[in-house]
Structure 1
Amino acid sequence: MLIDTHAHLNAEQFDEDRQEVIARAQQNGIRRIINVGFNRETIPTSLALAEQYDFIYSTVGWHPTDAINMKDGDLEWLESLCAHEKVVAIGEIGLDYYWDTSPKDVQDRVFREQIRLARKVKLPIVIHNRDAHHDVVETLREEKASEVGGVMHCFSGSWETAKQCLDLNFYISFGGPVTFKNAKQPKEVLEKVPLDRLLIETDAPYLAPHPYRGKRNESSYVRLIAETAAEIKGLSLEELAEITTRNATKLFNLKTSEMTQK
């Protein structure tokens, strides 16, 4: 049994065949999916998907590239949604210094506000970090994010950064890029991450694993990421699946009973 810990199945790329994509995931052994809402538009559709399928859960948060669009009252709105039975984390939140869409000071403020919210409602955090490794780690430390912990989504940093995140009570999650032939650093980091802090994800529809690189990603492909992770760790696919499923279930406080479609 596998869990895709980060997907965007409510994205428009799935509008033509969403039901088939979800069915394929189930057929390939993916028993739970954490779907991510990250702004005013995607949070409601992510929640709707989680309400439609028992085995799909949702996160709610404000993405750093959209931080400039966060209005008065939106933080209170997020807080109200945290009481929803299918909301399992705050995210994805963080810092993005690659896309020049939100000023760094606005990203910083929105990031810190949401960490404080997570601590208030006692939910883990899903971190987006692009080209901002130092500032993300320092902010997590300053805002005492270790109290709730969370996951470094689609981790792309060094082992030194990973160690700092582990010390802050965060899991390290790997997606499609770890399967790329030239992905030397992600493979080296995955090899060193303790098994009890390892997660896998797709980030569908983005970052499809080999051999689908450059095409639309989907949750069923998390199996390919699991196979690569198992090979790097010297485990069977079944062992890797059991470990990462246990980790995700613990982090997101998921039901342990079997999930079935409504």
Structure 2
Amino acid sequence: MIDIGVNLTNSRFDKDREDVIQQAQSAGIKQLIITGTNVFESQQALDICQQFSSLYCTAGVHPHDADNVGHNYLQELENLAQNDFVKAIGECGLDFNRNFSTPENQQRVFTEQLELAKQLSLPVFLHQRDAFNTWQTILKEQLNHIPGGVSHCFTGDLNELKACLDMGLYIGITGWICDERRGQELFDIAKYIPLERIMVETDAPYLTPRNIRPKPKSSRNEPKYLPFVVRTLAKAMKVDEDELIKHSSKNAMQLFRLAG
């Protein structure tokens, strides 16, 4: 298994980061991709990759941080992306749900990062929440010039899913699908995702699968819980778990150009 989205720079991992990585590997997680959410955390993600084996990362600015980018943030991201551990630009995109940054700055920073991905021939690790039409319009202008991307933590409806697939995107599924309260729609439409387009992720420390038994004492999600996402997703897609693992791993290795 490959967990394509882990927020290992999060402070909730500061006390036991090495143990978390080792436990993930013991649980069959072959490789982890650490998510970069701003320049500082992208540098932190790269630092972690250089300390441990089987780790890679992204470098980018989350829409929440769009208001706070420095004048030279693109150059800083480009410098980080020269390192072989950095496999994608992102997490980038739009989030009109919370608007921690203005929609105008979000769109500007998103577009600039797509241009950077185009320049560097790197795929994109994409975020979208309550901004689908604007997000899609911006993406369509750039995707033909970028070597692919993944809609990280997809939680949209069937129309949005089909639109993402039509754009050639991979679909990243998290523990959201394990939550019968808010993830039922995602469970119901997962069968429409081709095996050639699926990826799995925990988005740890967020979105802890609700189907973990026995229930963990801590609410912190960890990459070692990825098998619970796989189990539920395989059921929703009506495929064998091993088949899902094989395809999701192959897809991740292909998009992010990971070593075998």
Q: Same fold (TM over 0.5)?
A: yes
Note if contact 2:196-2:251 (Cα within 8 Å) is conserved in structure 1: yes
Aligned residue in 2 for 1:185: 185
The one-character-per-residue Cα deviations of 1:176-220 (angstroms, maximum 9, x if unpaired) are 110112322111221111110001100000111113598110001
Q: Tell me, what secondary structure is at the counterpart of 2:35?
A: strand
**For the residues of structure 1 that align with 2:100 and 2:142, how far apart are their CA atoms?**
24
Note if contact 1:34-1:56 (Cα within 8 Å) is conserved in structure 2: yes
Deviation at 1:41, TM superposition (A): 2.5
Q: 1:210 to 1:97 in 2, by over 3 A?
A: same
**For the residues of structure 2 that align with 1:4 and 1:147, how far apart are their CA atoms?**
22
Structure 1 counterpart of 2:221, from 202, 205, 217: 217
Structure 2 residues without counterparts, runs of 5 or longer: none
**For the residues of structure 1 that align with 2:209 and 2:25, how far apart are their CA atoms?**
18
Q: 1:94 to 1:16 in 2, by over 3 A?
A: same
**For the residues of structure 1 that align with 2:223 and 2:89, how far apart are their CA atoms?**
21
Q: CA RMSD in A?
A: 1.4
Range moving further from structure 2, 158-167 or 54-63: 158-167
Aligned residue in 2 for 1:113: 112
Aligned residue in 2 for 1:165: 164
Deviation at 1:146, TM superposition (A): 6.0
1:235 is aligned to 2:234: no
The one-character-per-residue Cα deviations of 1:144-200 (angstroms, maximum 9, x if unpaired) are 356322000000111111111112221011101101123221112211111100011
Note if contact 1:124-1:150 (Cα within 8 Å) is conserved in structure 2: yes
Aligned ranges 1:114-153 → 2 under 5 Å: 114-144=113-143, 147-153=146-152
User: What TM-score, normalized by structure 2, do the two folds share?
Assistant: 0.94
Q: Which amino acid aligns with 2:153?
A: C
**For the residues of structure 1 that align with 2:145 and 2:96, how far apart are their CA atoms?**
23
Q: Which amino acid aligns with 1:221?
A: Y
Q: Which amino acid aligns with 2:71?
A: D
Deviation at 1:44, TM superposition (A): 1.4
**For the residues of structure 1 that align with 2:53 and 2:35, how far apart are their CA atoms?**
15
Aligned residue in 2 for 1:259: none
1:99 is aligned to 2:103: no
**For the residues of structure 2 that align with 1:143 and 1:7, how far apart are their CA atoms?**
26
Structure 1 residues without counterparts, runs of 5 or longer: 257-262
Deviation at 1:114, TM superposition (A): 0.3
User: What TM-score, normalized by structure 1, do the two folds share?
Assistant: 0.93
Q: Tell me, what secondary structure is at the counterpart of 2:31?
A: strand
**For the residues of structure 1 that align with 2:233 and 2:4, how far apart are their CA atoms?**
15
Deviation at 1:125, TM superposition (A): 0.3
Range moving further from structure 2, 101-110 or 181-190: 181-190
Q: Tell me, what secondary structure is at the counterpart of 2:150?
A: strand
**For the residues of structure 2 that align with 1:117 and 1:180, how far apart are their CA atoms?**
36
Q: Tell me, what secondary structure is at the counterpart of 2:50?
A: helix
**For the residues of structure 2 that align with 1:37 and 1:211, how far apart are their CA atoms?**
28
Q: Tell me, what secondary structure is at the counterpart of 1:88?
A: strand
Q: Tell me, what secondary structure is at the counterpart of 1:202?
A: coil
Note if contact 1:145-1:168 (Cα within 8 Å) is conserved in structure 2: no
Q: Which amino acid aligns with 2:35?
A: V
**For the residues of structure 2 that align with 1:114 and 1:26, how far apart are their CA atoms?**
32
Range moving further from structure 2, 209-218 or 114-123: 209-218
Q: How many residues align?
A: 255
Note if contact 1:146-1:170 (Cα within 8 Å) is conserved in structure 2: no
Aligned ranges 1:1-262 → 2 under 5 Å: 2-144=1-143, 147-182=146-181, 183-211=183-211, 215-256=219-260
**For the residues of structure 1 that align with 2:186 and 2:146, how far apart are their CA atoms?**
27
Note if contact 2:93-2:135 (Cα within 8 Å) is conserved in structure 1: yes
Deviation at 1:40, TM superposition (A): 2.7
Q: Which amino acid aligns with 1:132?
A: A
Sequence identity percentage: 36
Q: Tell me, what secondary structure is at the counterpart of 1:151?
A: strand
Q: Tell me, what secondary structure is at the counterpart of 2:90?
A: strand
Q: Tell me, what secondary structure is at the counterpart of 1:140?
A: helix
